[in-house]
A and B are shown apart, each in its own frame.
Chain A
Amino acid sequence: MSCDAFEKSLALDAGGDLTPAEAARLEAHLEACAPCRELARAIQESQAALKVLSQEDALEEDALAAWRRRVMARIEGEPRRRVLGWRWAWAVAAAMALLAVLTAPQLLRRTPPVPPVGQAVPPAAGMPNGLPQPPRPPVPVVHRHPRHRRAPAPAPEPLLVKLETPDPNVVIYWFVERKGN
Chain B
Amino acid sequence: MIDRDGGLLREAKAGDRAAFEQVLLRHERRVLVTALHLLGRWEDAQDAAQEVFVRLHRYLGRFDDALDLAPWLYRMTVNVCRDIGRKRAAHDELDPNAADPGWGPERSARSAEERRILEAVLRRLPEKERAALVLRDLEGLPTREVARILGSSEATVRSQVSSARLRILKLTERFRRERI
Interface residues of A (CB under 8 A from B): 7-9, 11-12, 14-15, 17, 42-43, 46-47, 49-54, 56-60, 63-64, 67-68, 70-72, 74-76, 78, 80-83, 166, 168-169
Binary flags per residue of B93-136, CB closer than 8 Å to A gives 1, else 0: 00000000111101100110011001100100000000000001
In the complex, besides A46-B165, A54-B140, A168-B72, 11 extra interface pairs with C-beta distance below 8 angstroms are: A12-B161, A46-B169, A47-B165, A50-B137, A50-B138, A51-B138, A60-B104, A63-B102, A67-B49, A71-B49, A168-B79
Partner of B25, one of A42, A68, A75, A83: A68
Per DSSP, are chain A's interface residues mostly helix, strand or loop, or mixed?
helix
B33 touches A59 (CB 8 A): yes
In the complex the two chains form, what is the Cα distance from A28 to B104 in whole Å? 45
- In the complex, the answer to whether A78 meets B57 with C-beta atoms within 8 Å is yes
Number of A-B residue pairs, CB cutoff 8 Å, is 138
B32 within 8 A of A: yes
Output the least CB separation between B105 and chain A (Å).
Answer: 8
| Nearest 5 A/B pairs, CB to CB | A11-B162, A166-B62, A83-B61, A54-B138, A11-B165
Interface size on B, residues (CB 8 A): 60
Chain B interface residues (CB < 8 Å from chain A): 15, 17, 20-21, 24-25, 28-30, 32-33, 37, 42, 46, 49-50, 53-55, 57-62, 72, 75-76, 79, 101-104, 106-107, 110-111, 114-115, 118-119, 122, 136-140, 143, 151, 158-159, 161-163, 165-166, 168-169, 172-173
